[in-house]
Amino acid sequence: MSELSLERDEGLTANSDSATAHELELAKAIVEALNLDFHPEEINPNALLYGEGLGLDSIDMLEIALVVSRNYGLQLRSDDEDNMRIFSSLRNLNQYIQAHRTK
């Protein structure tokens, strides 16, 4: 098993931490946009998105920001000092979206 797949396995869950409906909707959009090789329901909502956990990189984060903009009418700025917290997990990203969305 490759190092990347080991990292991604750490971000997957066997339903031990259930995602909300909004988190699943966001996970589905992310999986589709990044063409990931697992199902949205498998993403642990508290797992790290960047690096460890799902193993996503900075290019993936830019793609996620585009998905968020398109789907939720929310502009995420690369110079926002809260980005580390916002993008730390699916759950944190979803909470930020729900608090600031325009769509």
Residue-wise pLDDT tens digits, 66-89? 999 999 999 998 889 999 999 999
Which is higher by pLDDT, 71 or 1?
A: 71
Domain 3-100 has CATH 1.10.1200.10: yes
Q: What digits encode the pLDDT tens for the residues 12-61?
A: 554 447 899 999 999 999 999 999 998 999 999 999 998 888 889 989 99
Report the pLDDT value the prediction gives residue 15, as an integer from 0 to 100.
44
> What is the domain partition of the chain in residue ranges?
3-100
Token match 């966001």: residue? 26
Q: What pTM value is reported for the model?
A: 0.82
What is the rounded CA–CA span in Å between residue 79 and residue 84? 11
Report the pLDDT value the prediction gives residue 103, as an integer from 0 to 100.
87
Q: Are 95 and 19 in contact (CB under 8 A)?
A: no
Token output for 2: 């490759």
